[in-house]
Amino acid sequence: MLQRIHTVISKSEGAYVAECIKVGVVTQGESLDETLRNLREAIELFMDGEEPAALGLVPNPRLAISFETTAR
Protein backbone atom coordinates (compact mmCIF):
# COMPACT_ATOMS: atom_id res chain seq x y z
CA MET A 1 0.00 0.00 0.00
CA LEU A 2 1.26 3.46 -0.89
CA GLN A 3 1.56 5.79 2.09
CA ARG A 4 2.42 8.77 -0.10
CA ILE A 5 1.15 10.06 -3.40
CA HIS A 6 4.20 11.38 -5.25
CA THR A 7 3.48 14.50 -7.26
CA VAL A 8 5.66 16.58 -9.56
CA ILE A 9 4.84 20.24 -10.10
CA SER A 10 6.35 22.10 -13.04
CA LYS A 11 5.71 25.43 -14.72
CA SER A 12 4.46 25.19 -18.27
CA GLU A 13 3.26 28.03 -20.49
CA GLY A 14 2.47 30.38 -17.61
CA ALA A 15 0.65 27.81 -15.46
CA TYR A 16 1.79 25.34 -12.82
CA VAL A 17 1.00 21.71 -13.62
CA ALA A 18 0.78 19.00 -10.94
CA GLU A 19 0.99 15.36 -12.02
CA CYS A 20 0.71 12.42 -9.64
CA ILE A 21 3.24 9.71 -10.45
CA LYS A 22 1.33 6.52 -9.48
CA VAL A 23 -2.22 7.91 -9.45
CA GLY A 24 -3.95 9.15 -12.60
CA VAL A 25 -4.46 12.72 -11.40
CA VAL A 26 -3.30 15.85 -13.23
CA THR A 27 -4.32 19.43 -12.48
CA GLN A 28 -3.04 22.97 -12.88
CA GLY A 29 -3.28 26.48 -11.49
CA GLU A 30 -2.02 30.01 -12.06
CA SER A 31 -0.10 30.02 -8.75
CA LEU A 32 1.47 27.34 -6.56
CA ASP A 33 -1.21 27.89 -3.90
CA GLU A 34 -4.00 27.47 -6.44
CA THR A 35 -2.31 24.39 -7.89
CA LEU A 36 -2.07 22.77 -4.44
CA ARG A 37 -5.74 23.52 -3.72
CA ASN A 38 -6.70 22.05 -7.10
CA LEU A 39 -4.49 19.02 -6.48
CA ARG A 40 -6.14 18.24 -3.14
CA GLU A 41 -9.58 18.64 -4.69
CA ALA A 42 -8.66 16.43 -7.68
CA ILE A 43 -7.34 13.68 -5.40
CA GLU A 44 -10.45 13.89 -3.21
CA LEU A 45 -12.64 13.52 -6.31
CA PHE A 46 -10.49 10.63 -7.55
CA MET A 47 -10.87 8.82 -4.23
CA ASP A 48 -14.53 9.76 -3.64
CA GLY A 49 -16.57 6.65 -2.95
CA GLU A 50 -13.55 4.38 -3.42
CA GLU A 51 -11.91 2.21 -0.81
CA PRO A 52 -8.29 3.45 -0.52
CA ALA A 53 -7.00 -0.14 -0.42
CA ALA A 54 -8.68 -0.84 -3.77
CA LEU A 55 -6.58 2.00 -5.20
CA GLY A 56 -3.40 0.68 -3.55
CA LEU A 57 -3.40 3.48 -0.96
CA VAL A 58 -3.55 3.67 2.81
CA PRO A 59 -6.38 5.77 4.28
CA ASN A 60 -5.47 9.48 4.22
CA PRO A 61 -2.24 9.19 2.21
CA ARG A 62 0.28 12.01 2.41
CA LEU A 63 1.37 14.08 -0.58
CA ALA A 64 5.08 14.11 -1.46
CA ILE A 65 5.63 17.03 -3.83
CA SER A 66 8.65 17.78 -6.01
CA PHE A 67 9.03 20.99 -7.99
CA GLU A 68 10.83 20.89 -11.32
CA THR A 69 12.47 23.94 -12.90
CA THR A 70 15.36 24.66 -15.22
CA ALA A 71 18.89 25.09 -13.83
CA ARG A 72 19.43 28.58 -15.25
Give 51: exposed, middle or buried? Use CB within 10 Å, 0-12, 13-18, 19+: exposed
What letter represents residue 48's amino acid? Answer: D
| Of the candidates 1, 19, 6, the residue with the CA atom closest to the CA atom of residue 63 | 6
Residues paired with 66 in a beta bridge: 8
Round to whole Å and give the CA distance between 47 and 32. 22
Mean pLDDT of 32-49: 95
Please report the domains of the chain, with CATH numbers, ordered by start residue. Answer: 2-68 (3.30.160.620)
pLDDT > 90: what percent of the chain? 76
Q: C-alpha 18: how far from its chain's center?
A: 6
The 10s digit of each residue's pLDDT in 17-29 is: 999 988 899 999 9
